[in-house]
Amino acid sequence: MLLVTCAAALMLLQQAPAEGTDWDAEFGIAAKERDPLTGEFPVAPYEQSNANAGAAPYASGALVAAFGGREGIVRIAARTVELSEADPRIAAIFASHDMVRLKRTLGEQLCYLIGAGCDYTGRDMRSAHADMGLTKADLNALVENLQAAMREAGVPFAAQNRLLAKLAPMAREVVTR
């Protein structure tokens, strides 16, 4: 009996919020809009430079051909991101980020490093991955997904490893835990 009275009293004391409250505004969250042209969310300004790609590019036409040229590389980058988004080991890390942008910037980075003549317009590896708390296990998972994407694209194993050779030293900037 006492319990019922209590519950009723507590319910009466509740005040329903006004209909149609704009909670984002209420909590001071500015809505982010995807760019209608690129489909990407805007990012805080940073200095663009190919140095942000983290390594010097190869200069080998044979290597570029092994990756299927620019189109091949861009497809491999996008596929790596797709596989990672679907990989239960690391999917959660990607879920809250802009995958449209990542597919583009990762494609640029790989294309630049392999020497297929792209410019890298993304952020440097340290600032792109700061605060993500990435582990070596996360990196191994990503490497396996990249290997799977390259395998699907028919890239010979030695050529796959040459790309990984460019990325392996970046582990120091990416893995923070």
Residues that bind another protein (CB under 8 A): 2-3, 5-6, 9-10, 13, 135-137, 139-141, 143-144, 147, 157-158, 161-162, 164-165, 168-169, 171-172, 175
Q: Which residues contact 63 (CB under 8 A, 6 or more apart)?
A: 114, 115, 159, 162
The owner of tokens 């959660």 is: 92
Site for ligand HEM in 73-102 (CB under 6 A): 90, 93-94, 97-98, 101-102
Q: Which of 142, 149, 150, 159 binds ligand HEM (CB under 6 A)?
A: 142
Q: Which of 64, 74, 79, 105 binds ligand HEM (CB under 6 A)?
A: 105
Closest CA to 67 of 124, 122, 107: 107
Q: Which of 63, 73, 114, 139 binds ligand HEM (CB under 6 A)?
A: 139
Judge residue 112's burial from the number of C-beta atoms within 10 Å of its C-beta, 0-12 exposed, 13-18 middle, 19 or more buried. buried
Site for ligand HEM in 50-69 (CB under 6 A): none
Closest CA to 68 of 156, 143, 1, 147: 156
- CB–CB of 137/89 below 8 Å? yes
Q: Which of 79, 112, 114, 122 binds ligand HEM (CB under 6 A)?
A: 122
Q: What region does 33 belong to: left with phi over 0, alpha with psi -120 to 50, or beta?
A: beta
**Which partner from the list ligand HEM, another protein, none does 162 bind, CB cut-off 5 to 8 Å by kind?**
another protein
Contact positions vs ligand HEM (CB under 6 A)? 90, 93-94, 97-98, 101-102, 105-106, 109, 122-123, 125, 128-129, 134, 138-139, 142, 167, 170-171, 174
